[in-house]
Structure 1
Amino acid sequence: MTTARKRLIDAASTPFYHVINRCVRRAFLCGEDQLTGKTYEHRRGWIVDKITQLAAVFCIDICAYAVMSNHYHLVLKIDLDSQKRLSATQVIERWTQLFHCHPTAAKFLVGEKLSAGEHIVLDKLISEWRERLGNISWFMRCLNEEIARKANHEDGCKGVFWEGRFKSQALLDEQALLACMMYVDLNPIRAGIADTLQSSDYTSIQARISALTAQQTAPVTGKPLLPFDGTVCTLEQSGIPYHFADYLQLIDWTGRAIRDDKRGFIHATTPKLLTTLGISDDAWLLSAKDFRRQYGGISGSWDAMCAMKAKWGGKWCKGKQFSRSIHPG
């Protein structure tokens, strides 16, 4: 039986989630149709632009993304602290960037006096909108509906554009987050459509490298990617808990190692992050290749996966062997 989305996404258990969505028929609706020669590459840009715009409205950060020809991956972080700190005015202003403003909220914004009944209505609206601004399902709804509408308009047709509701994986710890981000950023490399990280179009790693080398061709129109802060203490960590230099070293090494057509030269020295985490090379490479298939709706240490599954009311988790391989000890 399909698990309810509100149980799959529990910000109290973890703020990090891997999200995947695919076009109908697995057709090249966002890339290039080799049969007709028609290109839809610009639609991949629509998705990148929209996720950065939505991140500026929602209390949700983008850790990683990869927009492929017929599907896309996102690694998202729910920013609970930001969500709680929003004032009533900020909640209304953010929500009305996406949807029509309720008359009572509009009166409040312009400073008109509200009746007791209107105050009750306003409080209920603000509570509801605040919750939605930290809700991945609402984020995905705003993203997918606009992309589908624009694509159908461009094609002169109606009907379903996305294959179904998005799939999600909870990332319960730093190892799961790191493995998933690596999996997402290396999608074009694994698919054989890019030879280098710099040429991996419509990915977060390309965007980060471009920003690092000041090679951006256009200004960022929305919220920047969640930065790497390298903080050791989880309680103090606000960004991605690794140093970007270490991540670059590891993703470059992993990308060279997993390719079958061009193995490249692998230095004998294991990358710093793997040494620190105590993860074997083989286990890491397998995770980088098959992360999506190794787990069900949860990824993390085995004990944490079982605890979250028990919280949902289930007893069995997929991925015990793989979890223990990247969570040694």
Structure 2
Amino acid sequence: MARMCRAEVFDPAEVAVAHVFSRTVRRCFLMGDDPISGKNFDHRKRWIEQYLQQFAASFGIDLLCFSLLSNHFHLILRSRPDVVATWDDKEVARRWLMLCPHRRKPDGTAMEPTQPEINSIAGCPIKREEIRSRLSDISWWMRLLCQRVAMRANREDEEHGRFFQDRYKATRLTDEASLLACAAYVDLNPIRAALCERLEECDFTSVQRRIEAAQERAQNESSARRESQRTPASKLRHRRDSFLSPVSIDELVDPVGPCESESKERCSEKGFLAMSLASYLELLDWTARQTASGKRGRTPASVPPILQRLGLDRASWCELVSDFGKLFGTVAGRPGCVDAMRSLRTHRRYHMRRRARELFADAG
């Protein structure tokens, strides 16, 4: 069955969460250890992570999770047109010119745009509104990301042609259950691929960055207690996970609205899961023990409470995480949520695989 047009699934004017995935041509290991050439291309993962940090600071899009492997990568993105709507015309122009600069520094990074460059966009209503729409468009994020990685890798290898095998795949996440399962699926990718055994060893993943930031924060607080003084905010601001959206969201306490980030390292301060970072890490650790064969350690005596709140049992949860990419296509969510949705242009129903329906039925 032909893949549905993305314009049927994503409305640029509304907030949407998507799992996006892209693979290199012929599944070659062009971003890691290549067994054919004997070369190591791990540095290309560092390229991608640097681009992710740059994009998170400039786009009106929240980066929730990421995982970079040797022949593919996963991202979970949340478009934020509500945040972009709060930016004035000059801020829209400035952010776009930081993504697509007219002038660059010797190291290739963008130079701060001049006032005439900003005015060339801010003063043109048609161009300005088009760029405003692009800044919260997941397709533009992926277009610039894949294009820059491909051009840089081809230049390094003195090659031409495609680097990624096809257009990226996008699955819309429609509810908390699908978002939580997809987040675990993305963060546990290296463990599932038998590349490592522990969460803190999952290189080039969002979970590793969050763990590193938590360890740095604990060390800073410990040092501050020993010195009997408060740690300066400047030391805590630039953390390893500062470009990622916070994990926890409390719909009863957290402020409503765009919640634009003051640090300018990410789009907003809005979280995405109704659980703390510690609870999320505990759930990942429990799930990794269930899905990774030969994993040392003991399974906890009880399932984390979040699974009970979502109505998922152990077996259903583990299958949702391990087979997320196979279970869901265009959209992901509970059957009732998916069945109630219609495509934006033709108003067609979305297809949901039978096994996905059975898992949620068993959990209910």
Q: Same fold (TM over 0.5)?
A: yes
Q: Counterpart in 2 of 1:176?
A: 178
Partners of 1:13 and 1:235 lie apart in 2 by 19
Deviation string, structure 1 residues 77-121 (Cα, Å, up to 9, x no partner): 1122211101001000011112356xxx964846xxx9xxx99x6
Q: Are 1:248 and 2:281 an aligned pair?
A: yes
Distance 1:177 1:53, change over 3 A: same
With over 3 angstroms needed to count, the CA separation of the structure-2 counterparts of 1:58 and 1:46, relative to structure 1, is: same
2:247 maps to 1:228: yes
Shift of 1:164: 1.0
Q: 1:220 to 1:36 in 2, by over 3 A?
A: farther
Where does residue 314 of structure 1 map in the other structure? 348
Q: Which region of structure 1 is more displaced relative to structure 2, 4-13 or 224-233?
A: 4-13
Amino acid at match of 1:314: R
Q: CA deviation at 1:37?
A: 2.0
Which of 184, 191, 194 is the aligned partner of 1:192?
194
Report if aligned partners of 2:338, 2:352 keep a CA contact under 8 Å in 1. no
How has the CA–CA distance of structure 1 residues 125 and 12 changed in structure 2, closer, same or farther, with 3 Å as cutoff?
A: closer
Q: How big is the shift at 1:326?
A: 4.3
Q: Quick check: 1:53–1:223 contact (8 Å CA) kept in 2?
A: no
Question: TM-score scaled to structure 2, two decimals?
Answer: 0.80
Paired residue for 1:270, among 300, 303, 315?
303
Q: 1:19 to 1:188 in 2, by over 3 A?
A: same
Relative distance call for 1:45 and 1:313 in structure 2 (3 A) is same
CA distance in 2, matches of 1:45, 1:61: 20
Gaps of 5+ in 1: none
Contact 2:8 2:343 in 1 (8 A): no
* 1:156-203: CA deviation from partner (whole Å, max 9, x where unpaired): 111111111100000001111100000000000000001111111000
One-letter code aligned to 1:57: S
Task: Give the letter aligned to residue 190 of structure 1.
Answer: R
Gaps of 5+ in 2: 103-113, 220-237, 258-269
Partner of 1:78: 79
For residue 296 of structure 1, what is the aligned residue in structure 2? Answer: 329
- Distance in 2 of aligned mates of 1:58 and 1:316: 29
**What CA distance in whole angstroms lies between the structure 2 residues aligned with 1:148 and 1:214?**
34
Check whether the contact 2:62–2:80 (CA below 8 A) recurs between aligned residues: yes
Matches within 5 A, 1:192-211: 192-211=194-213
Q: Distance in 2 between the 1:12 and 1:132 partners?
A: 11
Percent sequence identity over aligned pairs: 34
Give the whole-Å Cα distance in 2 for the aligned partners of 1:278 and 1:84: 37
Partner of 2:167: 165
- Partners of 1:23 and 1:70 within 8 A in 2: yes
Displacement of 1:323 after TM fit? 4.6
Distance 1:14 1:86 in 2: 16
1:101-180 to 2 correspondence within 5 Å? 107=116, 109=118, 122-180=124-182
SS at 1:212 equivalent: helix
Counterpart of 2:143 in structure 1: which amino acid?
Answer: R
Contact 2:58 2:96 in 1 (8 A): yes
Taking the aligned partners of 1:158 and 1:182, their CA distance within structure 2 comes to 36
Specify the code of the residue in structure 1 equivalent to 2:244. L
Kept in 2: contact 1:65–1:73 (CA 8 A): yes
The letter for the 1-side match of 2:30 is L
Could you tell me how far apart the structure 1 residues matched to 2:289 and 2:310 are? 21
